[in-house]
């Protein structure tokens, strides 16, 4: 993959403990914390601990263990927050921005997990 990772990005600094975060879940390979500027009552950012820039970088280069750990962490958050439709919750949305057109601001792969109110259509037309 032709990605170069910038270790000075804000999520890298969170992972190094240089700036604080409100942790929701932490596993061996994954950290989830509250978004500082939430777009919904629940707005959690889920990030791998490894140096991946965006979704396709992570999907291509991360180990199977990291990928499984990441997605199991998302499931764990859904369970913990009671938002899983499979367990009586009202549901949620996950999304990930990549690059310029995706409007990615922080160049460390992250999944947004949004919930807590009806979220409307996926994109404004
Ligand atoms: P994106 O546009 O997909 O790169 O989203 C970056 C997200 O990171 C935005 O929703 C920001 O509110 C969030 N964010 C930026 N800095 C922090 C921080 N220090 N702690 C938590 N969330 C942050």
* pLDDT number for residue 89: 98
**Secondary structure element (H or E) that encloses residue 57, with its range:** helix 55-61
Mutating to test ligand 1, I would choose from 8, 13, 37, 103 the residue with most ligand atoms within 8 A of its C-beta, which is 37
pLDDT at 1 over 70: no
At residue 125 the predicted structure's pLDDT band, cuts being 50, 70 and 90, is confident
* Span from the CA of 35 to the centroid of ligand 1 (angstroms): 6
* Span from the CA of 105 to the centroid of ligand 1 (angstroms): 7
Please report the DSSP string for 18-51 in residue order: SS---EEEE-SSEEEEE-SS-SSSEEEEEEESS-
- Ligand 1 cavity residues, CB under 6 Å: 10, 19, 21, 35-37, 45, 97, 103-106
CA-based nearest residue to 44, from 6, 2, 75: 75
Active site residues: 110
* pLDDT number for residue 29: 98
CATH number of 10-108: 3.30.428.10
Question: How many CB atoms within 10 Å of residue 71?
Answer: 13
Share of the chain above pLDDT 70, in %: 99
At residue 84 the predicted structure's pLDDT band, cuts being 50, 70 and 90, is very high
Cα angle for residues 82, 36, 8 (degrees, 5° grid) = 120
Domain boundaries, the chain: 10-108
**Secondary structure element (H or E) that encloses residue 93, with its range:** strand 92-95
């Amino acid at each position: 993959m032709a990605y170069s990772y910038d270790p000075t990005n804000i999520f890298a600094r969170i992972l190094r403990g240089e700036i604080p975060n409100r942790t929701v879940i932490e596993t061996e390979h994954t950290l989830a914390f509250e978004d500082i500027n939430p777009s919904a009552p629940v707005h959690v950012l889920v990030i791998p601990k490894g140096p991946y820039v965006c979704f396709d970088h992570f999907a291509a280069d991360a180990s199977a263990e990291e990928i499984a750990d990441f997605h199991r962490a998302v499931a764990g958050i859904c369970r913990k927050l009671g938002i899983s439709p499979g367990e009586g919750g009202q549901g949620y949305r996950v999304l990930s921005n990549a690059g310029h057109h995706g409007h990615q601001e922080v160049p460390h792969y992250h999944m947004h997990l949004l919930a807590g109110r009806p979220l409307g259509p996926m994109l404004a037309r």
